[in-house]
Amino acid sequence: MVTYVNYICKQKVDYFCNMNAIELNTIENWYGTNLEDKLKGRRIVLEDIEPILKQLKTPFELSKIGTSERGKNIYQVKIGTGPKKILLWSQMHGNESTGTKALFDLFKYLEQHLNNKDSFVDDLLSTCTLVFIPMLNPDGSEAFTRVNANDVDLNRDAVALEAKESLLLRNVLDTFAPEFCFNLHDQRTIFNVEGFKNPATVSFLAPSIDVERTLTEGRKETMSVIVAMNQILQKLIPNHVGRYTDEFYPTATGDNFQKLGYNTILIEAGHYLNDYDREIVRKYNFYSILSGLNYLTYTQKHTNYEPYFDIPNNGKQNFDVILRNFKVDTNQHEDVAFQYDYEVVNHKLITKLVEYKRGDLSKYNGYNEF
């Protein structure tokens, strides 16, 4: 059996070497029967998570921090008493729910491992204080849209702060003053790992603070956490992890939080073969978050950042379906690529194939090809 400790020590990285051994096989066995099975599928709405939140018991602290533009409740969950503060949020884009499912899996893991001998959870909660916002955009979640009820993209509203939801997140940030943030998103199936046909099942980003992409101490610290998470994922899903573009977006949440001095780790949940409901991907999101928290629990100096640049970039070479050599007329054939699109009809999520690109697609890959 390979443990986190043995694996990392063999890699000559010392950040896990003082922790209690956590066996990957043990965690996988736990996950298989203990994930939050009340949450399934791509569309997760407030009505799905609210009953689960209200059943959380001490030491979890549940509070309502405000409401959405349409008056839906937005909640915060707090646990831990340690001096290192960590803020995690999901579904600022309503149609990106994989991180939400992973957070509720994490809640169950924490709950079941409290006061457990040789569990790192007690160390985590005495070292860190964790604040979660499981669903920042409940209106967008209901409609399965990226934007909120007023068509504001919360991830591009960090400067203008037009939306109620953006103001709530900023208020939590200013009041809590975290040392690290986890910003949880989903990315499209089009992304592959550069150099491979594999989908980018998980992608990471240490956001830039300026157009020059200056390598500040804060970005180095952020990269160090990502290195820790990537080392675990490479053991589980080798060559399925990508690096999201670090192009600077002046109005983006991660870029601005990083600029303000709050180290922000962006996790993008992507695709895994035949996993369009992202039930397999949620597991690797859970692993990412758990290993990131594990690293932050046992590491004081975050200096192991250089392997971050060894993570391959995201490519854009994959499609859901490609029809090869499609006959356009008597003398012309071409490839046609399709992507799945989603729409809520009568409160149900409907999937449809939409043409995306046609021509010579020999440099592209289809998850299904005909």
Q: Read off the tokens for 337.
A: 């690529």
Positive or negative, the Cα torsion across 137, 319, 41, 291? Answer: negative
How far apart are alpha carbons 263 and 269 in whole angstroms? Answer: 19
- Write down the domain spans for the chain: 4-315, 318-369
Tell the residue number behind the tokens 């407030």, with chain if given.
46
How far apart are alpha carbons 40 and 274 in whole angstroms? Answer: 15
**Euclidean distance between the first and final Cα of the chain, in Å?**
41
pLDDT (0 to 100) of residue 11: 37
How far apart are alpha carbons 41 and 43 in whole angstroms? Answer: 6
Q: Read off the tokens for 250.
A: 């002046």
Contacts of 262 (CB under 8 A, 6+ apart): 87, 173, 177, 178, 179, 180, 181
Tell the residue number behind the tokens 């070292």, with chain if given.
127
Q: Read off the tokens for 123.
A: 């160390």
For the chain, percent helix, then strand, then coil, each to nearest 5?
35, 25, 40
pLDDT (0 to 100) of residue 118: 65
State the CB neighbour count (10 A cutoff) for residue 231: 21
DSSP state at residue 131: E
370 residues of the chain, pLDDT tens digit each:
334 333 333 333 433 433 334 578 888 899 999 999 999 999 999 999 999 999 999 999 999 999 999 999 999 999 999 999 999 999 999 999 999 999 999 999 999 999 887 678 999 999 999 999 999 999 999 999 999 999 999 999 999 999 999 999 999 999 999 999 999 999 999 999 999 999 999 999 999 999 999 999 999 999 999 999 999 999 999 999 999 999 999 999 999 999 999 999 999 999 999 999 999 999 999 999 999 999 999 999 999 999 999 999 999 999 999 999 998 887 889 999 999 999 999 999 999 999 999 999 999 999 999 9
Mode of pairing for the β-strands spanning 318-329 and 365-369? parallel
Q: Nearest-CA neighbor of 188 among 200, 204, 205?
A: 200
pLDDT (0 to 100) of residue 73: 98
User: Is residue 21 within 8 Å of residue 8, measured between CB atoms?
Assistant: no
CATH code for the domain defined by 4-315: 3.40.630.10
| Helix, strand, or coil (residue 169) | helix
State the CB neighbour count (10 A cutoff) for residue 175: 9
Mode of pairing for the β-strands spanning 202-205 and 73-79? unpaired
Q: Nearest-CA neighbor of 285 among 297, 268, 272?
A: 268
Q: 248 forms bridges with which residues in the sheet? A: none
| Distance, C-alpha 191 to centroid of its chain | 15
How far apart are alpha carbons 56 and 120 in whole angstroms? Answer: 20
Q: HSE (CB half, 13 Å, CA atoms) of 161? A: 7
